[in-house]
Structure 1
Amino acid sequence: MTSNMEPETNIYERRESDARSYCRAFPATFTTARGSEIFTQDGGRYIDFLAGCSSLNYGHNDPDMKAALIDHISADGIAHALDFHTDAKEAFLKAYEDKILKPRGLDYKVMMTGPTGTNAVEAAIKLARKVTERRNVIAFTNAFHGMTMGALALTGNAGKRGGAGGGSLADVTHMPFEGAMGDDVDTLQFIEAMLDNPSSGIDAPAAFIFEPIQGEGGLNAASNEWMRGIERIARKHDALLIIDDIQAGCGRSGSFFSWEAAGIKPDMVTQAKSLSGYGLPFAALLIRPELDVWKPAEHNGTFRGNTHAFVTARVAIEKFWSDDSFAKSVQDKAELLTENFQQIAGMIDGAKLKGRGMMQGIDVGSGELASEICARAYDKGLIIETSGAEDEVVKFLGALTTPEELIREGFGILRDATREALAERKSTSIAAE
């Protein structure tokens, strides 16, 4: 049973800003959620292949995280502490050190930024400019790094940049991501040639920043060779390397960090979205210790560090990342996603698979078709969204804990929605003739 029931009143139309977006495509009133299922006010059930745009990698209301949070609140545990020392922060940092950093041979300071990913990006580019005493940052085509002004300057999408209202989005040079100029063009060679040319007009960069898998940009996945090439170019030009792992991190790619397989060593890494494990606001910046040159409060915020998020993040790390079994399960499910997307690709002329891990999708060739597929899927009980410059990619971002049978059920809905959308387009085309 699904529901498209409109709210009983028009309170959203009357009082909520027109900036709202997801609720336009998914207008039901949602009330409860468990795992990878979300339920509406009138009892409708939806399979969730969006998962808070990768903020719920461990699903809705994980019982162990929920129990720990309830215990913390019931015991009058600290709810807000600025950046005071707390038992919850200490426990999180120890778990992060023992389960995430040490097993990977990583040594980073953890900076608690404001609670959004864009704030972590702002902190990263501020620190890069402070350390190098340079202004220019190299970002990439199809990138998405956030909506505040500094992060938005790094973002490629014209529609999102338009939100700046003509404000300055400066001190950034956009270079082609891997594959952006066609499969036969080596973008590393292009980037290196531009930076080596003293008359290219490109100022010496403070940093390079990229997403190993471009979430909003259409699931463009960088190869290990390309990531290593960007690191090499950055070192050659004495620039810092920043990895934005906000959407692709916390296991989404099949490993905790989406850049692990490349063997690179970023100077800074931004994290947010599923870092809390429970959907609570929490963002952080990982910094090589020698680059942590901040003076006290040089980048701060009233909500830097979320004590409730420390509680759930610690449980998420201990529950899912104490060994490699969870990562292996993600890799197995990734193969199931690929298999199902290949079936759908076979239904659409020219369709292409995108992404990797449990961050996959299919480029169906047009935003209109992708949106129609997602709309029909919603009518049938599946929440799934689009991405890409023209919204042409139907994108899976379901929880990493989604049971295989639920994945299969969701893809059954998606195949039916695709079949109907294609039939409608064919019928419309015949009628037009």
Structure 2
Amino acid sequence: MTTAEMTVFESMESNVRGYCRDWPTLFDTASGAWLRDSQGRDYLDFFAGAGALNYGHNNPVLKAALIDYIARDGITHGLDMSTAAKRDLLQAIDRVLLTPRGLDYKVQFPGPTGANAVEAALKLARKVTGRTTVLNFTNAFHGMTLGALAVTGNAAKRAGAGVPLSHVNSMPFDGYLDDADELSWMERALDDGSSGVDKPAAVIVETVQGEGGVNVARPQWLRRLAELCSARDILLIVDDVQMGCGRTGPFFSFEVAGITPDIVTLSKSIGGYGLPMALVLMRPELDQWTPGEHNGTFRGNNPAFVTATAALEHFWSDGTLAESTAAKGDRIQRSFTELVDEYPGLSTRGRGLVQGLVFEEASEAGKVCHIAFEQGLLVETSGADDEVVKLLPPLTITDDELDHGLGVLTRSVAAVRGGH
């Protein structure tokens, strides 16, 4: 990007902007797993809109559905009015997602972001139970609004609230205490009247903590957590905003554990095309909202309903995408294992197409991402100290594209370790 092209961003846009500082170029077009900047340089995308572009940029199937809808003057903004686009989406959710999995959920359309969905879920849990406390987990990330920040672990993000974040208690996530039994502590705290932990309305959990460093909860840990909550009349909320929509393989990330959460939050790729949309799924008996009790102007993004329906019907009518995602995850794991074997101080963790390369020397992760960008690869860091190189490529990426990106990443690691 030239100095002249940078001027408008530097002079007019808030200092809060972040990703553009790590990837200082002017992006112009995008297709599939690739972006192109204004100078005609291509970048392979291992970021996918932080998980909002699971089906890639400008997916042709979704684009065609969107163009057709707009061309016929379909409703674009509808608040919570009944529209044909919403009807089609609700029918697709039932037909493609819920019925085949034996799930019985009502669907709520909150505002269009993941944080909106989390806020709605927390409010609903407190309303239904009459209790105020929510349990969250170490290294959790649930959004940047006050309720979502309260159940987020990162101290720097929490500090941005500017006010006390209350009515929460943090518990150790799976693996946080190394060889200790994290859920035994949680169980003891809940059952001991002198622990100082009030009986909560809900527990909110990510099955894989993406922003927290690609921390993967074991299926048996998730099952035990679900049993612990059920036995104590505590609602279990699974935040599937980033890990849902097939990121870990199956559509819902909790499917691997065989559990049925009381409430599920979805956003990011649920809109299919990168259009803003969010959902809250809840057991029918929990739907105790009164009309208009939780609302928002942009909870009726009908173009996103259209692309979401097309995505469900095209990608989730069979198990092809889930199988492909698992195979590509294995492909990344093999590449990462070679790096771990070659370079001391590295480890790897992940599931499906969310994979993390962990650096004992945290600063090396950022250096790897910087070199990768210079070589035409977009990849970000995560974790408490930005010690993890986190891969979130589109689920539709080809094997050749994946191998190309892994090659760039391998060379970037070598450059950092070799001092080049």
TM-score, structure 1 normalization: 0.96
Identical columns (%)? 51
RMSD: 1.0
In the superposition, relative to structure 1, how do residues 417 and 7 fare at CA in structure 2: closer, same or farther (>3 Å)? farther
1:232-247 matches, cutoff 5 A: 232-247=227-242
The amino acid of 1:249's aligned partner reads G
CA offsets 1:343-363 (integer angstroms, 9 cap, x no match): 222233131111211111111
Work out the CA distance in 1 between the residues paired with 2:342 and 2:18. Answer: 29
Preserved contact between residue 283 and residue 305 of structure 1 (Cα < 8 Å): no
Structure 1 position 6, deviation (Å): 5.0
Work out the CA distance in 2 between the residues paired with 1:402 and 1:346. Answer: 26
In the superposition, relative to structure 1, how do residues 173 and 29 fare at CA in structure 2: closer, same or farther (>3 Å)? same
Asked if 1:193 is matched to 2:193, the reply is: no
Work out the CA distance in 2 between the residues paired with 1:251 and 1:82. Answer: 28
Q: How many residues align?
A: 420
> Which sections of structure 1, spanning at least 5 residues, go unmatched?
428-433
The amino acid of 1:92's aligned partner reads L
Preserved contact between residue 361 and residue 396 of structure 1 (Cα < 8 Å): yes
1:161 aligns with one of 146, 158, 165: 158
Work out the CA distance in 2 between the residues paired with 1:137 and 1:21. Answer: 30
- Which 4+ stretches in 1 moved above 4 angstroms? 4-7
Asked if 1:408 is matched to 2:403, the reply is: yes
Work out the CA distance in 2 between the residues paired with 1:68 and 1:259. Answer: 29
Match of 2:126 in 1: 129
SS in 2 for 1:57: coil
1:377 aligns with one of 372, 375, 382: 372
CA offsets 1:274-328 (integer angstroms, 9 cap, x no match): 0011000000100100000000011100001310000100000000000111111
1:180 aligns with one of 162, 176, 179: 176
Work out the CA distance in 2 between the residues paired with 1:259 and 1:7. Answer: 48
The amino acid of 1:204's aligned partner reads K
In the superposition, relative to structure 1, how do residues 164 and 219 fare at CA in structure 2: closer, same or farther (>3 Å)? same
Work out the CA distance in 1 between the residues paired with 2:223 and 2:127. Answer: 25
Preserved contact between residue 81 and residue 300 of structure 2 (Cα < 8 Å): no
Asked if 1:202 is matched to 2:209, the reply is: no
Match of 1:52 in 2: 49
Asked if 1:294 is matched to 2:289, the reply is: yes
Work out the CA distance in 1 between the residues paired with 2:365 and 2:81. Answer: 47
Structure 1 position 22, deviation (Å): 0.4
Preserved contact between residue 86 and residue 302 of structure 2 (Cα < 8 Å): yes
Preserved contact between residue 351 and residue 363 of structure 1 (Cα < 8 Å): yes
Work out the CA distance in 1 between the residues paired with 2:328 and 2:4. Answer: 36
The amino acid of 1:91's aligned partner reads D
1:80-99 matches, cutoff 5 A: 80-99=77-96
CA offsets 1:73-117 (integer angstroms, 9 cap, x no match): 111111101111111111111111100110000010110010000
The amino acid of 1:175's aligned partner reads M
Structure 1 position 159, deviation (Å): 1.2
Match of 2:302 in 1: 307
Work out the CA distance in 1 between the residues paired with 2:158 and 2:84. Answer: 41
1:339 aligns with one of 334, 338, 342: 334
Structure 1 position 334, deviation (Å): 1.1
1:280 aligns with one of 275, 281, 301: 275
CA offsets 1:161-216 (integer angstroms, 9 cap, x no match): 11112x1200000000001011x101011111111111000011100010000010
1:214 aligns with one of 198, 209, 218: 209
Work out the CA distance in 1 between the residues paired with 2:270 and 2:5. Answer: 35
Work out the CA distance in 2 between the residues paired with 1:261 and 1:103. Answer: 15
> Which sections of structure 2, spanning at least 5 residues, go unmatched?
none
1:106 aligns with one of 103, 112, 115: 103
Work out the CA distance in 2 between the residues paired with 1:394 and 1:237. Answer: 38
Work out the CA distance in 2 between the residues paired with 1:271 and 1:7. Answer: 39
SS in 1 for 2:193: coil
In the superposition, relative to structure 1, how do residues 310 and 194 fare at CA in structure 2: closer, same or farther (>3 Å)? same
In the superposition, relative to structure 1, how do residues 7 and 156 fare at CA in structure 2: closer, same or farther (>3 Å)? farther
In the superposition, relative to structure 1, how do residues 270 and 325 fare at CA in structure 2: closer, same or farther (>3 Å)? same
TM-score, structure 2 normalization: 0.98
Match of 2:353 in 1: 358
SS in 2 for 1:303: coil
Preserved contact between residue 139 and residue 153 of structure 2 (Cα < 8 Å): yes
Asked if 1:423 is matched to 2:415, the reply is: no
Work out the CA distance in 1 between the residues paired with 2:2 and 2:317. Answer: 43
Structure 1 position 366, deviation (Å): 3.0
Work out the CA distance in 1 between the residues paired with 2:229 and 2:4. Answer: 52
Structure 1 position 7, deviation (Å): 5.3
Structure 1 position 5, deviation (Å): 4.6
Work out the CA distance in 2 between the residues paired with 1:97 and 1:50. Answer: 30
CA offsets 1:225-256 (integer angstroms, 9 cap, x no match): 11011111111221100000000010001100
